[in-house]
Amino acid sequence: MTVIMHQPASQTTGSTMPDQGSSAYVFLLCAVAALGGLLFGFDTAIINGALDYLKIHFHIQAGTFAEGFLVASAIVGCIPGVLISGPLSDRFGRKNVLIISAILYLISSIGSAIPPSVAVFYLFRFIGGMGVGAASMASPLYIAEVAPARVRGTLVALNQLTIITGILMSYIICFFLKDVHGALQNWQWMLGSAAAPSLFFLAAMFFLPESPRWLTEKGREAQAMAILARVGGRASAEAQMVEIKDALDHDRSDSTSGSVWQLFQPGLRLALMIGVVLAVLQQITGINTVIYYSTTTFKDAGMGEGAALLGSVGVGVVNFIMTLIAMALVEKVGRRPLMIYGPLAMGLSLALLGLAFKHHWLSAILLFTFTYVAAFAVSIGPVLWVVISEIFPTRIRGRAMSFSIVALWIACYLVAFTLPKMFELIGKSGTAWFYAAMCAVMVVFDALFVPETKGRTLEQIEKHWTRP
């Protein structure tokens, strides 16, 4: 299913390769791949606006684990989606995994909009979750392997921007569909609205080339060189090809290369630990308590239905703007400072948010929710995806990222599933303070273990872990 967006490989060697790369071409490739992130954000966050209507339709009581599972049913599907997509992306290519995820998105958006029962609703949300899981691994992986080192962080962060765009789109759509009536209820229109972007993503994927690093690993060097030359020019392509082949030769000389056991070798064990722990901490610092539950939380704090939905749109706007800023900062400031100071600001915001909940300061609840989201969006939101797309060897990057992203989705599920019960048991103030403490843990971990990878090629980063 691989379609190359340039001359055939047989005609793109030697003097026919361009001397200069094309920034527009690089951006186009990464933007198309990042559409998987847009569907990721849209599909997971649409439940925010639909949740209260779904509870009424399916007769589910607030503050129960059943309410939590309405939100978390899609996240359950993310786990097998990631587990399957890692080996598939290493064997069949990053592009084909993204095509599969687009098909799963489309099936889910239609099925979850017209379920005859809550069990069928859970099934189609699970299918959509599998698409989310696959895209959450394959999109940043593809972008990291296509983008030049000098802008790789910015372009991987583009995937996070599209996730945030999808979240914001879902909030806006829910706001405008809240009063829709007719043959279908408003929540059905909300959930079914994902079908249009799913179809667009599926069609766009057929015009995307495969990752040049994956093509090289599979012996298709002419195609890989053509893509690398189009991205960075002939001289850059030749230099990158030498690095890629050296890294692959090193991998092949290792008896464990290509298997998950390679991840447990000295050096790479640390990379694996960093990837998994960062993924878990990104979630258990509480961001999805806002992404999935902000509308319900704002209503409980005293806002009307329309104001609560509008407040969630505000969350999406703040998230979007600060992610744009993160894209500008990730190559200038670097990964490590953002990963340390972002969680620090998040923890301070959550501590103050807990006080606002305790004293019922509605304006302060909005303010500190926004500052918390802003701190997340400018730091660990996008930068986590940059780091875990960079730190693993080429031959097993798909499977290695799967470890981290499975851990992320397990943590995400636990947060989404348990939040209604946490509100009931320790209150909103106690919940905010709990997640503030998790932010403090992340600050310490990032300061101790996270390396700086700014400006280094993927092969140079690999050598950092494997050098004697």
**For the chain, what is the largest distance between any 2 Cα atoms, rounded to a whole number of angstroms?**
71
CA 210 to chain centre: 20
Higher pLDDT, 256 or 47: 47
Q: Which domain holds residue 322?
A: 21-466
Domain assignment of residue 30, yes or no: yes
Nearest to 437 by CA among 351, 340, 370, 354: 351
pLDDT at 3 over 50: no
CB 142 within 8 A of CB 16: no
| Average pLDDT taken over every residue of the chain | 88
**What is the domain-level CATH number for residue 141?**
1.20.1250.20
Number of other CB atoms surrounding residue 59 within 10 Å:
8
Higher pLDDT, 396 or 453: 453
Domain assignment of residue 213, yes or no: yes
Domain assignment of residue 110, yes or no: yes
Domain assignment of residue 4, yes or no: no
Domain assignment of residue 181, yes or no: yes
pLDDT at 436 over 80: yes
> Model's pTM, two decimal places?
0.80
What pLDDT is attached to residue 468?
A: 53
Phi/psi for 17 (5° steps) reads: -75, 140
Taking the chain, what is the end-to-end CA distance rounded to the nearest angstrom?
40
What pLDDT is attached to residue 251?
A: 66
Nearest to 439 by CA among 339, 330, 325: 339
Confidence of residue 258 (pLDDT cuts 50, 70, 90): low
Dihedral sign for Cα atoms in the order 218, 219, 224, 226: negative
441 three-class SS:
helix
Q: Give the pLDDT confidence of 152-161 residue by residue, as tens digits.
A: 888 888 888 8
pLDDT at 1 over 70: no
Tell me the angle at which helices 118-146 and 397-449 cross, rounded to the nearest 10 degrees: 80
What pLDDT is attached to residue 194?
A: 92
pLDDT at 425 over 80: yes
Domain assignment of residue 310, yes or no: yes
Considering the chain, what percentage of its residues have pLDDT values greater than 90? 60
What pLDDT is attached to residue 303?
A: 93
From 16-30, 222-236, 356-370, the region with the lowest mean pLDDT: 16-30
Q: Give the pLDDT confidence of 60-88 residue by residue, as tens digits.
A: 988 788 899 999 999 999 999 988 888 89
Report the alpha-carbon distance of residue 181 to residue 346 in Å, rounded.
Answer: 40
pLDDT at 103 over 70: yes
pLDDT at 7 over 50: no
CA 447 to each of CA 106, 273, 333, 443: distance values in angstroms, whole numbers, following the listed order = 41, 15, 15, 6
What pLDDT is attached to residue 257?
A: 53
Number of domains in the chain: 1
Nearest to 279 by CA among 91, 112, 406: 406
Higher pLDDT, 20 or 323: 323
Domain assignment of residue 400, yes or no: yes
Considering the chain, what percentage of its residues have pLDDT values greater than 70? 92
Domain assignment of residue 447, yes or no: yes
Q: Is 255 exposed, middle or buried (0-12, 13-18, 19+ CB in 10 A)?
A: exposed
What pLDDT is attached to residue 360?
A: 93
pLDDT at 423 over 50: yes
Confidence of residue 12 (pLDDT cuts 50, 70, 90): very low
What pLDDT is attached to residue 350?
A: 98
Counting every residue, how long is the chain?
468
